[in-house]
Amino acid sequence: MIGDLFCSPEPPDTYSVGWNFNARFSGAGFATEAAQALFDYLFAKKNARRLYAYVEENNVASQRLCDRLGMRREGVFKEFISFVEDSNGVPIFENTMQYAILRKEWGRAARTGTQ
């Protein structure tokens, strides 16, 4: 499998978006193409006003994808989430960035070629 995308609605018009892609396929543009299609769908068909994504500080590939999609980094949540524990079973918390884009920004990004 190359990867998957997901979204969760937050009424009335916001969606949390995310993705998981197999690193063996990186650099081929699959993530960008798939995310652009998802964003197009959410803005055009679901009438989304705002999309946002959380990206862990060490996930440089997802940060770059957010940049290619024209998303802006809105902030950093310090020690926000833990996916792993240390050898004593204590959670290791990661800093997490929030990226977002508005429908009006998506249209502008499409016109200027920044997505």
Average pLDDT across each block of 10 residues of the chain; the chain has 115 residues. List them in order.
96 97 91 96 97 96 96 96 91 95 85 52
CA distance 84 to 58: 13
pTM value?
Answer: 0.87
Domain membership of residue 96 as a residue range: 3-112
* CATH number for the domain that contains residue 17: 3.40.630.30
Are residues 63 and 55 in contact, defined by beta-carbon separation less than 8 angstroms? yes
Question: How many domains are there within the chain?
Answer: 1
The four Cα atoms 98, 102, 106, 112 give a dihedral, to 10 degrees, of -90
The pLDDT, as a whole number, for residue 50 is 98
The pLDDT, as a whole number, for residue 26 is 87
Residue 108, token pair as written in the block: 């502008």
